[in-house]
Amino acid sequence: MGEVWRATDTRLNREVAIKVLPAAVAGDAMRLARFTREAQVLASLNHPNIAAIYGVEEHALVMELVEGPTLAERIAGRAMPIDDALGIARQMAEALGYAHDKGVVHRDLKPANIKITPEGTVKILDFGLAKAMSTDASASGPGEATTLNSAATMAGTILGTAAYMAPEQARGQNVDRRADVWAFGVVLYEMLTGERPFGGATVSDTLAAILTAAPDLERVPAGARPLLRRCLQKDPKQRLRDVGDAEILLENPFAAAAPARAAALPWALLGIVVAAAVALGFLYWRERPLAPAPVALSLLPPPQFEFAADPIHNIVAVSPHGDRVVFSAAGADGTGYLWLRRLDSVTSQRLNGTANAISPFWSPDGQEIGFGQNGELMRMDLAGGPPVALASAPDLWGASWGSRAVIVYAESATGTLLQIPAQGGIPISAAGLAMGTGRAPAAGSTLPGVYPWFLPDGQHFLFVQSDGTIRLGTLDSSATRVLVTQASSDAIYASGNLLFKQGSTLMAQPFDVKRLALTGGPAPIATVAGNPLVENGAFAASSNGTLAFLPPAGAGAVLGWYDPNGKLLSTVQSADITHAPNLSPDGRRALTTVNGDLWIVDFATGTRTQFSFDGKSSVGIWSPDGRQIAFGSSRGGHWALYREPSDGSAPAQVLYDGSAQLEYPSSWSSDGKFLLASTNRNSKTPAIGILSLSGGERLLLLGPGTRTVNGQFSPDGRWIAFQGMTGEGSQIYLTPFPGPGGMYRVSLGDLNEEPRWSRDGKWLYYLSGRRELMVAGVQAQGASAEVRTPQPLFGPVANEPFDEYDIAAGGTRVLALRGSDIAPTLTVIQHWPQALKH
């Protein structure tokens, strides 16, 4: 964070602390200006337990000088007396609760940022400065994250910070006051035990413990465990909502309930302890834990390597615990290698000795992997050591490692499904199932079995035939039976479902592993690479809800930020985007549509989160407050409009399900009362619908037959810009809302489309027929408007046309979608079964 000096304020004759900013901040005008703005906000905090900020001088921050040791020095690896720890925790909770009420989150709470004055007063330092020091120029507002990447740029801070990061902060996601609640719990645990609840030899080990390990609450006094359990919930939705609740609980002497001291308690005090325990139990159980929402990640291939869909050999395998994936990626010379990627890491590790490896699969304990390589079946210990050959296996067509230490595999040379002990031995036929010969069956013939997958009992396994039937086999019998008759891929069992493809759609069908029977119909969950023929499905899953698959390849699009000169500033998203983008009201996120599902792109963290999972959704738009998303979907068998909370906290509700078949919501009025949506522009009479969200009359703008689409409310809600289509082309018009009034033509030439307003309502943008981004000044008063001649914002974009776009506040940046051929990425969805419930 820089250097800190003790200094004298000669004007007020007082001692102060001066924090000199590091050169990276002092030399960056934009970051310095943002730092100054943040410091001004933080200076508004006036609380006895928060170190005050007096002012910002050139390249320096003037702060209250706090005498005394830091809490880290007080702890020094030793448990503190309970009364001392509780007294400090109460003051911390008071300070945090005050700041949170002011909309300020600390983001970097740790013992080194907490000082204890000689009088015993707690002072929290550096409130919010983790955000102010961030390298992310888009960070603004109390909800933004302090990401690991930005923290890592602050020399000397990451090792001390990592141990106190909340799981969502460690992942680089948005954080709010609940991240401070987590850090408060970590600090309280450390005061009571002398040690951190999550530690490791390296930053990676520490972050892995935060994301996966459970804290040892047996080491803290029994009465403190419910509070710490609430503070240290990994899912922020299940965490203590407000640190003020902790402050109330800390007023009770619950720590005295530790077993070693309980016998000495007076009866009156024991009654207080029991009452406090009942209160804690009520607070703990009154909010039932919410099931974690699905979270989708896009994993890029390693630099200079690419994923490649392979119709014969699977390219990805998910570890049994869902925390790692192994995948195959090839370099420019065509040589493929296996790579290991932890989902809490940002890099992939190439596994030595895996050149030309195919069809990876995991051991049941997640400690080893198997694969085919140069005509042999191999196994490899991930803890170290070279791969070991188990048997000859030319052209491995899938393998599975069962819980009884048996591997079943399929390869083209012998024409059978084979089984072999996992430690090696002589392969024998698996239940006498012939696979057939050759890489492809003769005309009219059937490959009796490939791509085996063990069920949890280690005795039964799934396999697929080339006629599209998925069968159930067993190690000790040649009898098999059909489970699914119309599959296009192999099948696996995960999270109570069989997963398999029908065409390019990945389906999930409930399956009872005890009765070995299907218990429901299939439901679509994703669109996966491949073709309708029976093949390896390019997907994998763990037993606890992590799914990985390769999306369809082909022409996609690049979503990027452009300056007014048309220069690409940064790439935001590379995927097969079909509709994009719609900026959130605060400009921090954008909605895109990829293969029929909505995704939310977070600019601060660089993460993408899948929002819908039906594969049948169209354009989505934000509500004026950013808390709702409206979108069109054919999930019910026909097009309707839906509304759903942007955080996914409740199921979608139908907004409109009428005969107009509105598919594309385009604009939400600033007062939240009206929604504009369009029918399909390829219909005979495309039209715009005006929906009253209060349940009133639903109108069609300008009526059927006028061919209007893409309506956009002005920021003040008094005008609508829209695209009117004729036989000769399309123009951009203005009309007052709710009327009456005439229409005002804005555009020049033909084939104009995609109108967008500036945030202040003074400018209107659109795309011309030459794919130029045009801008026209608008002055509107009452029911009349004056439109100035449109001018190009920047030159034509020729071979890389803008497909869709949105304008950032101030008009200084354009978020635009441009067509491009995109190398495939690997999609990983955690907690995917929750999507089936919606």
Instruction: Name the residue ranges covered by the structural domains of the chain.
Output: 67-285, 295-552+831-836, 555-775+794-821
The per-residue DSSP string of 3-14 comes to EEEEEEETTTTE
- The DSSP letter of residue 718 is S
* C-alpha to C-alpha distance for 704 and 375, rounded to whole angstroms: 66
* C-alpha to C-alpha distance for 92 and 75, rounded to whole angstroms: 15
The structure's pTM equals 0.42
Instruction: Based on DSSP, count helices (H) and strands (E) in the chain, helices before strands.
Output: 15, 56
Q: Which helix (H) or strand (E) holds 88?
A: helix 82-101
Domains 67-285 and 295-552+831-836 in one fold: no
Are 654 and 665 in contact by the 8 Å Cβ rule? The answer is no
Quick one: 475 exposed, middle or buried, by C-beta within 10 A (0-12, 13-18, 19+)?
A: middle
Which token pair is 353?
């000795």
Which residues are within 8 A (CB) of 721 and not within 5 positions of it... i.e. 6 or more apart?
711, 712, 714, 732, 733, 734, 746, 755, 757, 764
Which token pair is 794?
């920047």
* C-alpha to C-alpha distance for 685 and 677, rounded to whole angstroms: 14
* C-alpha to C-alpha distance for 485 and 492, rounded to whole angstroms: 15
CATH superfamily entry for domain 295-552+831-836:
TolB, C-terminal domain (2.120.10.30)
Confidence (pLDDT) at 127: 75
Pick from 779, 793, 774: nearest CA to 716: 779
For residue 199, count other CB atoms closer than 10 A to its CB. Answer: 13
Confidence (pLDDT) at 530: 60
Quick one: 634 exposed, middle or buried, by C-beta within 10 A (0-12, 13-18, 19+)?
A: middle
Q: Which helix (H) or strand (E) holds 75?
A: helix 71-75
Amino acid identity for residue 590 in this structure = A
108 is catalytic: yes
* C-alpha to C-alpha distance for 548 and 542, rounded to whole angstroms: 9
Q: In CATH, which of 1.10.30.50, 1.10.1660.10, 1.10.510.10, 1.20.1290.10 is domain 67-285?
A: 1.10.510.10
* C-alpha to C-alpha distance for 543 and 457, rounded to whole angstroms: 13
Is the alpha carbon torsion for 613, 615, 618, 619 positive or negative? Answer: positive
* C-alpha to C-alpha distance for 570 and 552, rounded to whole angstroms: 24
Q: Could you tell me if residue 11 is left (phi over 0), alpha (psi between -120 and 50 degrees) or otherwise beta?
A: alpha
CATH code linked to domain 555-775+794-821: 2.120.10.30
Which residues are within 8 A (CB) of 628 and not within 5 positions of it... i.e. 6 or more apart?
622, 643, 644, 645, 646
- Can you tell me which residue has the tokens 């940064």? 570
Which residues are within 8 A (CB) of 269 and not within 5 positions of it... i.e. 6 or more apart?
253, 256
The three-state secondary structure class of 131 is helix
Spans in the chain with pLDDT lower than 50: 132, 134-160, 253-289, 435-447, 531-533, 554-555, 797-800, 821-822
Pick from 457, 444, 451: nearest CA to 430: 451
Pick from 42, 150, 299, 174: nearest CA to 588: 174
Residue of 9, 83, 108, 180 marked active site? 108
